[in-house]
Chains A and B, each alone.
Chain A
Amino acid sequence: MSKVNWFKQVFCACLLTGSVLLTGQQGNAAPEAKDTLNFVNYRDIRDLNPHLYAGEMYAQEMLFETLVDITADGYKPCLAESWEISPDGKIYTFKIRKGVKFTDGEPCDAFAIKANFDAIIENKKRHTWLEMMHLLEKVEAPDAETFRITMSQPYYPMLTELGVTRPFAMISPKAMKDGSTKDGVQAFIGTGPWTLEEVVTDEYAIFKRNDSYWGEKPKFERVIVKVIPDNQTRILALEKGEIDLIWGKNMLDADALNKYKNSEKFGIELSAPTSTRQILLNTTNPILKDLNVRKALQHATNRAAIAKGVFHGLETPADTLYAPSVPYCNIGLKPFEYDMKKAAALLDQAGWKPGPGGVRMKDGQPLAISLLYNSNSVTEKNIAEYLQHEFGKLGMKVSISGEEEQSYRDNMKNGKFDMVFNICWGTPYDPQSSLSAMRQRVYGDYAAQLGLDDKAEIDKAITAIPTTTDKEERQKLYSYVLTHLHEDAVYIPLTFECNKALFNKNLKGVGFTQTQYEVPFTQIYMVQ
């Protein structure tokens, strides 16, 4: 037999094997119907116990509800139909909505809510980040429709904290383990618009519409949440039609979104600002402890260029630590405008004179600082490179370095940074919770502010805010804190981050709610 024949035979065998493999058995394809929404997340839903923090928040919001809802127009009734606050601000009496049932048939009355609060209070230590846990005196359910909370002191963000899914969402008392939830629950049974039908860890979760839901019922019958960790694969899966909607802050980068800007097949939605991207300046650093240097950096930051160049205009420039739309934060702070001449003058004033190689010097020391970013974030690296170049023009030598998320956070906590990227917490935690966190040693804010002369006064004001009942007085305290932080120039605000959605154009009703983690599944529907 000749060599050529041989070659043909083997080649055909290869082709045959290949085609057999490709046309092999069919996979169990997902039901392709318009009553099913195919959603995606980068990780599993995990433990949805509403009284702990381990689960995905959007999934908890699908199953569980709280006493009140936080909306753009303020607090709205949810499981509580109405409420009264005693004149001294210490007693909250809730009238519980009648006829609401958990999906296992248990009534969601005041007794069930009391059982939930008992379970939460039993694990009080885990929830001490909520100031109200310290002030809580007792909870009572005098009858099936009345639920009462007594506090030792008035506390203004009370309803906000009760409206946050964790830990104050209600689970069926039958699903608890002997009235306790701190060591896990038996099933995820709530009163929400969806029920959890099936979960395969790290693969998918299927939510089914709760047909006996008391409120507005979802239009889709099912939501399938697939787990796809890789950013690129997620977009490819959307292109292929395997998923209908990508939703979230960190699920899409600006470049990917920009690609679909004028697409006929896919739609884009952006939310109002949820939080502020910023750079934290370490005031204990010998160079940065000088206010003039910090101010120079503020003036040398071209926020508009970052918003346009890095985010293609998908994010808007930020002039202040919190957006003016954040409660108590519209106080007319004067932004540090982009002005390189002013920045140079400030550095001159601080004693940093132009030196060899274009780097400014003072007392024989070069003007050299570092900028740390989270290497998991593509955008932070881009901004860092841009700022390195911009600050370089001023005669400042900036070295940039990226670290994986957990070590990046460790460096922040330990104050091992000159400048570092940071982000506000967003709704509904801003400003009360994120300001409160500035006093905790575990955050970069604490380390960064240590060198401020007025640090003690700022902390004192932050501590006083939650228990101040008079709204005007409270605004004064907020204004004090925010003005001082702004004038101290500790934070370089960059852009306002927003929630992003990329979806199949047949999908309607894609939007955002006041809570940045809640996906408004109830409103979303499909047209053919």
Chain B
Amino acid sequence: MLQGDHMGMTLTVLDLDTENLGYFGHCAKHAFHLQQCAKCDLLHYPPTTTCPFCGNPEQTWTPVEGRGTVYSYAEVHHAIQPGFKGHTPYMVLLVELDTQKGKPTEHDALRVVGNFVTPDGEMAPPEMVKTIGIGSRMRMVFRDVSEGLSLPMWTLDEAADQPATPWRYAQE
């Protein structure tokens, strides 16, 4: 069992949860892997028991580049969990990976969840939150929670061309 305290919550990966054990096992090494179907070759996210595209249970963990574009987001000003209250406003990003974009159909993609963080994995401060939106280019970083448990997060991709004005909700 993997366990650790993160933002005032206890995160637990149960021993019988083999899919999440596999996923977080790679994350602990700061490597992003997704399940790839042995039959149809499609990757999928988050970890599941069978391929959601063809139902085949045989899957292999495949390294995937942690780069993509903000597809949409939530910007939380009123936190629910006590541990997040000191970090508002914080962003939950849905980042559409470059990998497998538009497959199996044009509107499908791997859209990976993560908070917007600084390059060293800390929650992005309020002034930084205002700088990104839909269209921003992001790269994955890992935030260590405990021995053997790390969470994928998103930070600005400094090397990428950024949109002049990423789309943000009208009211700041």
A interacts with B: no
Binding site for A on B (CB under 8 A): none
Interface residues of A (CB under 8 A from B): none
